[in-house]
Structure 1
Amino acid sequence: MSEHATDAGIDTTQLTELAHASSAVLGQRYASSLLGVFGTPQRVLVRGAGCHVWDADGNQYLDLLGGIAVNTLGHGHPLLTSVITSQLATLGHVSNFFTSPTQIALAEKLLEISNAPAGSKVFFANSGTEANEAALKLTRRNAGTPQAPRTKVIALEHAFHGRTLGALSLTYKEKYRAPFAPLPDNVVWIPAGDEAALRAAVDETVSAVFIEPIQGEAGVRLLSQDYLRAAREITRDAGALLVFDEVQTGMGRTGSFFASAPVIPDVMTLAKGLGGGFPIGAMIVFGEENTTWLTPGDHGTTFGGNPVACAAGLAVIHVIENQQLLTHVQDTGAWLREQLAGVPGVAAVRGAGLLNAFELDSASAPALVAAALDAGFIINATDERTIRLAPPLVITTAQLETFIAALPQLIAGL
């Protein structure tokens, strides 16, 4: 945006110029002005509507990734847009010295839909990694005694909990962690879904166990309800905290508000789909307040829980509930997995609701991502053989059919 402002408004010369530039020109200007932590952008996107987006050259794409499980209601949803605009025009930011009706209402709504017991509380942040940072910080409160300290945190192999230093210490992939060592060194990883390994690892020296009910970055690897129930029992018996990271799986993504339901942990973290595209994260602490909780002065955030973000969260939940999206997600996801299983070149399909993955027999997943993009579909590779799909929850089978119809030829052409 131009630096030149007048009484009549803001000079939009620079934005107008950029809006009419080609993808090639915009790519060059991106490379010269932004830190390249994400590499080269695949496209320059300029507009979205529903489950479609358009790039700077006018090409249309069916968004089957949803901003990595963020765009719950798709792009430009009228209610979400209206609620955000109205709230911003009324009260946009107040800092953490104050609260607002939207912050209180969203906290109460999250406690309601998570079936939180009396005394449970919510902390708002701005992202998933910040929510996990808050949760990790909280687990330090469960430190045991000088005579019997709790020094370890258990995480699962192939886990992904974020990229900031604390959350990164929980993330399994060595290539993410190694360049930034030393990290907090009290994390022990155990095989995901292995109840025996969990029982062997959790003892009186463990402060907390972090679990993603579905490991999205690992290729949509589901953990069974039996395993989650066992984790609840094991941690409770050992006096360790159980933390469910529902950053990717929460807010209806799997066909229920939370993939871990009905198992109730000590702590749950949320983000991504909660704001429908507006940045927000949350940590829910379940049960009556105790000595492991964060108290005044222990933690903070300037933007967390701001009125606009909380209004967005309320709008997302309202649409999910009033348009019966949970049932839609269950039915549409089941249909999608059945269709994918019949595509030549697909070796395996797994998922829940509209968080799904399929493995390729032999073709390269990154190559398929590139071919699909050229054909007008946005998908994601989690490794060399696995494709992840996390479209908006409002997507229809008719829209998904266009991808299913194109997929055999896309795979065969690799």
Structure 2
Amino acid sequence: MENVKERTEELLHEANSSILFVANRPQIVMEHGEGMYVWDTEGKKYLDFIGGWAVTALGHSPKVIADALVQQAGKLINVSPAFYNKPMIEFAQLLTGLSGLERVFFGSTGAEANESAIKLARKYGSVCKGGAYEVITANRSFHGRTLAMMAATGKPQWEQKFTPQMPGFVKVPFNDIEAVRSAITPKTCAVMLELIQGEGGVHEVSLDYVKELRSLCDEQGVLLIFDEIQTGLGRTGRMFAFEHYGVTPDVLTLAKGIGGGFPLSAMLAKEAFNLFEPGDQGGTYTGQPLGMAVGLAVVGELIERKLPAQAAKQGAYLQTKLREVQAKYGLSGIRGKGLLLAFDLPEPRGEELVAACLEAGLLINSSSPQTIRLMPALVVTDEEIDRMMSILCAVMDQLILK
């Protein structure tokens, strides 16, 4: 055991001296995972209710992904985006059939998918709206960490980062249709919206707002973009969050759960907005066979195992368990859909709670000082939810009731 601990200390020293600092990471090294659990290099086991930030939809190291990688790697890994490949065509057919949007562009990250959506919106503005280029986004939104997506994001603390920011993004209050109406000008080419603001604290749009927004965009000839990077592919209890509202966007972005942990994303659009010309959009790893095979395997598994419905069921069970202890710990604002859930603490002690849960073998996320966010794999069981609640309550007994 002493050798294991020494090796971990060596790894941490190497990490802290060679990896560019971008986050306050705990001083542990994760080594392997299975299902809902991960283990560090010292053998400590953690129940994972972060899920790689809503990424590991099928749990850790699922066989279906390992098999897809092995099989495709033995055939063709990368042939350049200048050519079609079989898994690319098959995956495109699957996603367009599921979503009702006829065209798809593949990428590797959520920010890349959102960049693609903004480029398409500005292409539409150039071709169809006299050079319109502005995109309306919401306060408290999160769309990625590229320069353009940081400008699109509605985090006030980002407004002065990496200035000058890319122009062309107009922020309005979330869930306020009149604010959108007032913000639309002849320069507006699109409205970009998260149906549930995940990073913003799991806040959901209202049904009336979405329906009115769809009508307003149609009336003004403005594209409606849904950023479903976090909510897409079963997370909210439906294959896509927009299905809860009965409103289809013009452009849809997907990532996170689409690859079950493999870096993969997609931007889908209606046929009417199939406007790119050669050279407008691309990327070395767009549609590469290895990623396409993984995407096919993951989405196929979501369908075969009916995991969107499973997420709805398990999310309801988790909310019930949280409400059972709500009064005892002073919790409030239990909210979300499916397995994208959050609640608020009585005091801004989220960071302390996360650290104490980590020590107790539970991974959770604090999206703000007072908010705890839960994003477990869609395969989570009642027993695993009960185990999570047991650890969480034991920690809150010490931290909140102390």
Superposition pairs for residues 259-270 of structure 1, below 5 Å?
Answer: 259-261=241-243, 262-270=246-254
Going from structure 1 to structure 2, the CA distance change for 1:284 and 1:183 (only over 3 Å counts) comes to same
Going from structure 1 to structure 2, the CA distance change for 1:303 and 1:401 (only over 3 Å counts) comes to same
1:271 is matched by which residue type in structure 2?
Answer: A
Where in structure 1 are there 5+ consecutive unaligned residues? 1-17
TM-score, with length taken from structure 2: 0.93
8 Å contact from structure 1 (residues 92, 308) kept in 2:
yes
Going from structure 1 to structure 2, the CA distance change for 1:242 and 1:21 (only over 3 Å counts) comes to farther
1:25 is matched by which residue type in structure 2?
Answer: E
8 Å contact from structure 2 (residues 129, 189) kept in 1:
no
8 Å contact from structure 1 (residues 275, 312) kept in 2:
yes
- In structure 2, which of residues 100, 116, 124 is the aligned counterpart of residue 134 of structure 1? 116
Matched residue, 1:3? none
Task: Give the whole-Å Cα distance in 1 for the aligned partners of 2:315 and 2:213.
Answer: 27
Superposition pairs for residues 162-173 of structure 1, below 5 Å?
Answer: 162-173=144-155
Task: Give the whole-Å Cα distance in 2 for the aligned partners of 1:249 and 1:341.
Answer: 23
Shift of 1:179: 2.2
Deviation per CA, 1:49-81: give whole Å up to 9, x if none. Answer: 011000011100011011000001011111111
Query: Is the counterpart of residue 104 in structure 1 residue 86 in structure 2?
Result: no
Deviation per CA, 1:23-60: give whole Å up to 9, x if none. Answer: 33221110111101123345310000011000011100
- In structure 1, which of residues 281, 286, 289 is the aligned counterpart of residue 270 of structure 2? 286
Matched residue, 2:229? 247
- In structure 1, which of residues 140, 146, 150 is the aligned counterpart of residue 132 of structure 2? 150
8 Å contact from structure 1 (residues 202, 234) kept in 2:
no
Matched residue, 2:30? 45
Query: Is the counterpart of residue 322 in structure 1 residue 307 in structure 2?
Result: no
1:159 is matched by which residue type in structure 2?
Answer: S
Matched residue, 1:222? 204
Q: Residue 38 of structure 2: SS of its match in structure 1? A: strand
**Percent of aligned pairs with the same amino acid:** 39
Superposition pairs for residues 167-206 of structure 1, below 5 Å?
Answer: 167-206=149-188
Superposition pairs for residues 44-83 of structure 1, below 5 Å?
Answer: 44-83=29-68
Q: Which structure is higher in helix share?
A: 2
Deviation per CA, 1:232-261: give whole Å up to 9, x if none. Answer: 111111011111000000010011111112
Where in structure 2 are there 5+ consecutive unaligned residues? none
- In structure 2, which of residues 235, 257, 260 is the aligned counterpart of residue 276 of structure 1? 260
Which structure 1 residue ranges, 4+ long, deviate > 6 Å from structure 2?
none
Going from structure 1 to structure 2, the CA distance change for 1:364 and 1:90 (only over 3 Å counts) comes to same
Shift of 1:20: 8.1
Matched residue count = 392
Going from structure 1 to structure 2, the CA distance change for 1:342 and 1:270 (only over 3 Å counts) comes to same
1:37 is matched by which residue type in structure 2?
Answer: V
- In structure 1, which of residues 307, 325, 328 is the aligned counterpart of residue 289 of structure 2? 307
TM-score, with length taken from structure 1: 0.91
Query: Is the counterpart of residue 34 in structure 1 residue 19 in structure 2?
Result: yes
Shift of 1:342: 2.2
Task: Give the whole-Å Cα distance in 1 for the aligned partners of 2:296 and 2:108.
Answer: 15
Task: Give the whole-Å Cα distance in 2 for the aligned partners of 1:146 and 1:80.
Answer: 42
1:299 is matched by which residue type in structure 2?
Answer: Q
Deviation per CA, 1:348-369: give whole Å up to 9, x if none. Answer: 2001000001111125011000
Task: Give the whole-Å Cα distance in 1 for the aligned partners of 2:302 and 2:188.
Answer: 37
Shift of 1:395: 0.7
Going from structure 1 to structure 2, the CA distance change for 1:408 and 1:294 (only over 3 Å counts) comes to same
Deviation per CA, 1:202-223: give whole Å up to 9, x if none. Answer: 2433111110011000111111
8 Å contact from structure 2 (residues 251, 268) kept in 1:
yes
Task: Give the whole-Å Cα distance in 2 for the aligned partners of 1:323 and 1:294.
Answer: 36
